[in-house]
Structure 1
Amino acid sequence: MAPNDSAETNGEATGTVVGRRKKARYIVPFAVAGVAAATIGLVPALAASGDPDLPDITAQELIEKIAASDQEQLSGTLKVSTDLGIPSLGGIASSLAPDAGGDTSAAPESKLMELASGTHTLRVAADGPDRQRLSILGEGSEYSLVHNGDDVWGYDSGSNEVYHAQSDGAERPDGMRKAPEGVPATPKELAEEALAASDDTTSVTVDGTAQVAGRDAYQLLIKPKQAGSTIGSVRVAVDSETGVPLKFTLATSSGGKAAVDAGFTKVDFSKPDASSFSFTPPKGAKVTEAEELKDEAGRNGAAGKAPKDLEALEDFKGLNVIGKGWNAVAEIDVPGGAGLPAQGSETGDMPAQAQQFLDALGDKVSGDFGSGTVFKTRLVNALMTDDGKVYVGAVTQDTLVKAADAAE
């Protein structure tokens, strides 16, 4: 029978247990931190073929199994998609980017930003902390990001453009730290982030088994104990043999399609062929060095075309956290004590595309704090008050307003 933990029967893993994990060992080696993974979502039917019959395991034991996993070699195919309830970020990112005079479509930033919306198929390979490859498959084109030793290559087959950066062992020329070991956008990295947020406001249980990419897996279920969060649950399918998370699904408290869901459709834990990490610019390709982009940005000004008021956001006076756990809200003071300017106002000139984006997300609200606008996605919401404070968190609009009222 599939194991089904609960706090009463099999020892729910609380923040005390999670706090003892060895965080450094959670991450399968990867070349580019993303997230966000963060910031992603997978076509739901990957866990098919019935639930495998596996030995019982407690939530604590399963977390320890993830922590003990030292798998540094793998290759496979991922399907990832994101449904955050916002427009595609590709065009907006381009509109706020520096002058494209020395830019290239092969630079990682814009390509990885595309993963923040829609559904994508990725191929990944990893062989320890110094060799990784990520390929994003498009319709008739492919974007590849290759990390091999001190070299990082990006190649956009659609435009036949190449990006190249060299690492000094600590920091890469594109401003990103040397990869902290793993494959970008893998369920393992997403699982580590979710577990890092776990404390006594969190329920962590084993909720049955599944089969993902032809492998037997336990399902770890992470849920807020508090009301008021936009996050309903996080489900992680963990390979029963290696302890590597194979699938990550983040459901919102409002229901509907998963907001973030990433999983392997094929995976192989043997050593990838060395040729997977070799790259030579194709004949006729335009090659842009990272240093060239940095120099171009310097000539155009550090912020390029970024609106003056957005530049000023770098000077936030401070950050105060209201609440705890899944209901934590960050309070930030905006320099000058003013909210976002309207398009064409005397205090700033916000690009029309950015203004339309904000208007589409914004709801006017009021409370003891005064009045302001809430900008909403399916996960992260932000309240900007008219007197220049920002409250942001993975919480509902009502929770944001209560936090703003409590801060007054």
Structure 2
Amino acid sequence: MRTGKLVRWGVPVAAAAVIGAAVAAGPVIAAVGSDPVLPERTASQLLADAAAAAERQSGIQPMSGTVTKTASLGLPALPGADAAGGDSPLALLTGAHEVKVWYGSGERFRLALPGEMSEKNLIVNGGQAWLWDSASNTATRLKIDLGPQAKHTPPTPQPTDMTPQQVAEKVLADAEQHSTVSVTNTDQVAGRAVYQVSLAPKDPSTLVKEIKVALDGETYVPLRVQIYAKDSAEPAFEVGFTQLSFAPPAEENFTFTPPAGVTVKDQTITGAELAKTDRMDDMPALKTVGQGWSTVAVVPFELPSDAQAKQAVDSFLKGATPVSGTWGSGRLIKTKLLTALLTDDGRVLVGAVTPDKLTELAGSR
């Protein structure tokens, strides 16, 4: 973890959120109200407790559970999303998706992506890894070859490697600069008592009404994140556990034998390929304008060559609104949480801000 020890307690939800965005429909997550079962904490005390817990645990503790992600962003219908399947990039932008996870250690974990009539599994057990796809009836044996020159470089100390109190004070100071922060201790997620930290933006130009982060009352692991748009009672985006156990998963969850009749393939991933994924050389030059909740990302843009991606872009642009200003002209799209502007001079500006704010920031170079 290159961003400090405090980040470690966020890994289970962060990892599951990325994978969980690749699966079939599941129910919307709902908090279950209950009588207070946790000691009261201020936001500062809670963040200090979370940092101290991360220090004690020195990583992710064994766990298993089910994570559900829901998105209701108000996007237009995406062509090809249904045909591409529930785990396609286009299908991830709407609806509900689910992933099951078993975590024993950094070298022993399993992710299951259930579909309507199929399931995909990634099983890692020490030096052996399998990717099992029941729909195609194939099992791929994965091997990572780092090469003779490969060396493991431990993470270097970061500014966040401080005392829990210092971490809490810094995080809270940054949050309170742009948000109103509050804590409740009366909610449950996946049957576990949680503290819920709420961040309400002070900036009137943002589309975000509130962000809620639920922290397990015992381990301080984040169990759910909800993002609410203005004028909406339900989350526009939500990811969290619907079932969770911190008991070590059974060993059988990390073993896999290809069933009879399955096509077995072998794939080697080299150290050079892994290094290439870490490089930012080929990424478009990204810059930001604005600050706090009004921060907007600006990247160069060219129409994609991939037919499906180009079709999706064209579909978006059909519903776009022509706009212009001192910065030039372009086409603007607004969803519940994000506004995007594609300028005629080849830029894309995206932020959780109102259209007026986005076009105002379009003139910032």
Please report the TM-score for the alignment, with normalisation by the length of structure 2: 0.74
SS of equivalent to 1:84: coil
Matched residue, 1:150: 127
User: 3-state DSSP class of the match of 2:331?
Assistant: strand
Q: Distance in 2 between matches of 1:257 and 1:360?
A: 28
Kindly indicate whether the alpha-carbon contact (under 8 Å) linking 2:82 and 2:91 is maintained by their aligned counterparts in 1. no
Change (3 A) 1:123 1:332: closer
- SS in structure 2 at match of 1:357: helix
For residue 124 of structure 1, report the CA deviation from its aligned partner: 1.4
Shift of 1:94: 8.8
Q: What whole-Å deviation, never above 9, does each CA across 1:43-99 have from its counterpart, x for those lacking one?
A: 55632252333211111121223332434111122332222333677946998xxxx
* Contact 1:332 1:390 (8 Å CA) reproduced: yes
Task: Find the counterpart in structure 1 of residue 64 from structure 2.
Answer: 75
Question: Does the Cα contact within 8 Å between 1:90 and 1:110 map onto a contact in 2?
Answer: no
Work out whether 1:379 is the aligned partner of 2:337.
yes
SS at match of 2:47: helix
Q: Which residue of 2 aligns with 1:64?
A: 48
Percent identical among aligned pairs is 36
Query: Do the aligned partners of 2:29 and 2:68 also contact (CA within 8 Å) in 1?
Result: no
Pick the aligned partner of 1:137 from 82, 99, 114: 114
Pair 1:54 & 2:38 matched: yes
Separation in structure 2 between the aligned mates of residue 227 and residue 150 of structure 1, nearest angstrom: 52
Q: Counterpart of 2:259?
A: 282
How far residue 118 of structure 1 moved from its aligned partner, in angstroms, is: 1.6
**Conserved 8 A contact 1:199-1:325:** no
Paired residues of 2:341 and 2:358 also in contact (CA < 8 A): yes
Structure 2 counterpart of 1:326: 293
- 2:264 and 2:82 map into 1 onto residues whose CA distance is 22
The C-alpha deviation readout for 1:252-285, integer Å capped at 9, x for no partner, is: 2342531221222221111111111112222222
Change in CA separation of 1:28 and 1:391 when aligned onto 2, cut-off 3 Å: closer
Q: Measure the CA separation in 2 of the matches of 1:220 and 1:208.
A: 9
- Kept after mapping to 1: 8 A contact 2:13/2:222: no
RMSD: 4.1
Deviations 1:287-316 (A, max 9, x none): 344449xxxxxxxxxxxxxxxxxxxx9574
Q: SS at the partner of 1:405?
A: coil
- After TM superposition, the structure 1 = structure 2 runs for residues 102-141 of structure 1, keeping only pairs within 5 Å, are 114-141=91-118
Shift of residue 396 of structure 1? 2.4
Q: Deviations over 1:337-382 (max 9, x none)?
A: xx759xxxxxx89656234432245221112212101234433332
**Greater Cα offset, 113-122 or 231-240:** 113-122
Q: Residues 405 and 265 of structure 1: is their aligned pair in 2 closer, same or farther, counting only changes over 3 Å?
A: same
- Aligned match of 1:16: none
Which structure shows the bigger proportion of residues in strand conformation? 2
Gaps of 5+ in 2: 148-170, 270-280
> Cα gap change, 1:368/1:60 in structure 2, threshold over 3 Å: closer, same or farther?
same
In 2, distance between residues paired with 1:81 and 1:124?
A: 17
How do 1:177-216 residues align onto structure 2 when only pairs under 5 Å count?
A: 198=175, 200-216=177-193
- The whole-number CA distance in structure 1 between the counterparts of 2:114 and 2:92 is 11
Residue by residue over 1:194-214, the C-alpha shift from the partner in whole angstroms, topping out at 9 and shown as x without a partner, is: x79847223332134202222
5+ residue gaps, structure 1, are: 1-19, 96-104, 171-194, 293-312, 342-347
Matched, 1:403 2:341: no
Compared CA separation, residues 217 and 110, structure 1 to 2 (3 A)? closer
Give the Cα separation in 2 of the matches to 1:50 and 1:31: 26
Deviation >6 Å, runs of 4+: 36-42
1:25 paired to 2:8 = yes
2:198 to 221, 224, 227: 221
Code of the residue aligned with 2:289 in structure 1: it is: I
SS of 2:215's equivalent in the other structure is strand
Determine the structure 1 residue equivalent to 2:250. Answer: 273
